[in-house]
Amino acid sequence: MLLPHMTRGKRVVVTGIGLRSPLGHTLPALRAGLLAGRSGVRAMPEWAALQGLRTRVGAACDGIDAREIPRKHSRTMGRVGILAALSVRDAIADAGLSADLVASPACGVAFGSTTGSSAAQEDFLRPILQDKSIRGLLSSSYLQFMSHTCAANIALMFGCKGPVIASCTACTSGSQGIGIGYEQVRFARVPVCLAGGAEELHVLHAGIFDIMFATSAGFNQTPEQTPRPFDRRRDGLVVGEGAGCLVLEEYEHARRRGAAIHSEIIGYGSGCNGSHPTNSDPDGICIAINAALRDAELAATDIQHINAHATGTDVGDAAEAEAVHRIFGAKVPISALKGYLSHTLGASGALESIATILMMKEGFMAVSKNLDEPDPKIPPLDHVLGSARQASIKIAMNNNFAFGGINTSLVFRALC
Per residue in 317-338, pLDDT tens?
Answer: 999 999 999 999 999 999 999 9
If one counts every other C-beta atom within 10 angstroms of the C-beta of residue 394, the result is 15
Q: Assess if residue 6 is contained within a domain.
A: no
- Cα distances (Å, whole numbers) of residue 361 to 83, 237, 365, 396, 415: 25, 29, 11, 11, 10
Give the pLDDT confidence score for residue 7 in this predicted structure: 63
Q: Assess if residue 206 is contained within a domain.
A: yes
- 171 an active-site residue? yes
Catalytic residue among 171, 193, 245, 286: 171
Asked whether the predicted pLDDT for residue 3 surpasses 60, the reply is: no
Catalytic residue among 205, 253, 262, 309: 309
Compute the average pLDDT of residues 141-153. Answer: 96
Q: What is the CATH number of the domain that holds 171?
A: 3.40.47.10
Q: Assess if residue 95 is contained within a domain.
A: yes
Identity at 309, one-letter amino acid code: H
Least confident of 229-238, 271-280, 386-395: 271-280
Instruction: Find out whether 110 and 181 touch, Cβ atoms under 8 Å.
Output: yes
Percent of the chain past pLDDT 70, that is, above it, reads 98
The pTM assigned to this predicted structure is 0.96
> What HEC string does 55-98 produce?
CCEEECCCCCCHHHCCHHHHCCCCHHHHHHHHHHHHHHHHHCCC
If DSSP codes are grouped into helix, strand and coil, which group holds residue 106?
Answer: coil
Q: Assess if residue 146 is contained within a domain.
A: yes
Give the pLDDT confidence score for residue 29 in this predicted structure: 98
- Distance CA(196)–CA(179), nearest Å, equals 9
Instruction: Find out whether 23 and 341 touch, Cβ atoms under 8 Å.
Output: yes
Confidence of residue 199 (pLDDT cuts 50, 70, 90): very high
- Distance CA(91)–CA(85), nearest Å, equals 10
Report the interhelical angle of 27-36 vs 348-362 (nearest 10°). 80
DSSP class of 115: S
> What HEC string does 213-279 produce?
CCECCCCCCCHHHCCCCCECCCCCECEECEEEEEEEEEHHHHHHCCCCCCEEEEEEEEEECCCCCCC
- 276 an active-site residue? no
Catalytic residue among 148, 262, 343, 383: 343
Tens of pLDDT, residue by residue over 272-297, are 988 887 778 999 999 999 999 999 99
Q: Assess if residue 2 is contained within a domain.
A: no
Compute the average pLDDT of residues 68-87. Answer: 97
- Cα distances (Å, whole numbers) of residue 92 to 14, 95, 226, 354: 11, 5, 34, 15
- Distance CA(98)–CA(93), nearest Å, equals 9
H/E stretch holding 47: none
Q: Assess if residue 4 is contained within a domain.
A: no
Tens of pLDDT, residue by residue over 88-103, are 999 999 999 999 999 9
Compute the average pLDDT of residues 141-154. Answer: 96
Tens of pLDDT, residue by residue over 102-131, are 999 999 999 999 999 999 999 999 989 998
- 150 an active-site residue? no
* pLDDT greater at residue 416 or residue 167: 167
Q: Assess if residue 60 is contained within a domain.
A: yes
Give the pLDDT confidence score for residue 218 in this predicted structure: 97
Give the pLDDT confidence score for residue 280 in this predicted structure: 82
Angle value at C-alpha 236, between 231 and 240, nearest 5 degrees: 110
Give the CA radius of gyration of the chain. Answer: 20
Q: DSSP of 171-198, one letter per residue?
A: GGHHHHHHHHHHHHHHTTS-SEEEEEEE
Sheet strand arrangement including 107-112: 164-166, 107-112, 192-199, 242-250, 12-20, 263-272, 406-413, 395-402, 305-308, 333-336, 382-383
If DSSP codes are grouped into helix, strand and coil, which group holds residue 100?
Answer: helix
Angle value at C-alpha 219, between 216 and 225, nearest 5 degrees: 100
- Distance CA(152)–CA(190), nearest Å, equals 17
Compute the average pLDDT of residues 372-398. Answer: 97
Asked whether the predicted pLDDT for residue 1 surpasses 70, the reply is: no
Percent of the chain past pLDDT 90, that is, above it, reads 92
Q: Assess if residue 249 is contained within a domain.
A: yes
Tens of pLDDT, residue by residue over 4-56, are 445 679 999 999 999 999 999 999 999 999 999 999 999 999 999 999 999 99
Confidence of residue 312 (pLDDT cuts 50, 70, 90): very high
- Distance CA(204)–CA(210), nearest Å, equals 9
CA 125 to chain centroid, in Å, comes to 28
The residue segments making up the domain with residue 92 are 12-413
Give the pLDDT confidence score for residue 39 in this predicted structure: 98
Domain count, the chain: 1
- Distance CA(187)–CA(95), nearest Å, equals 21
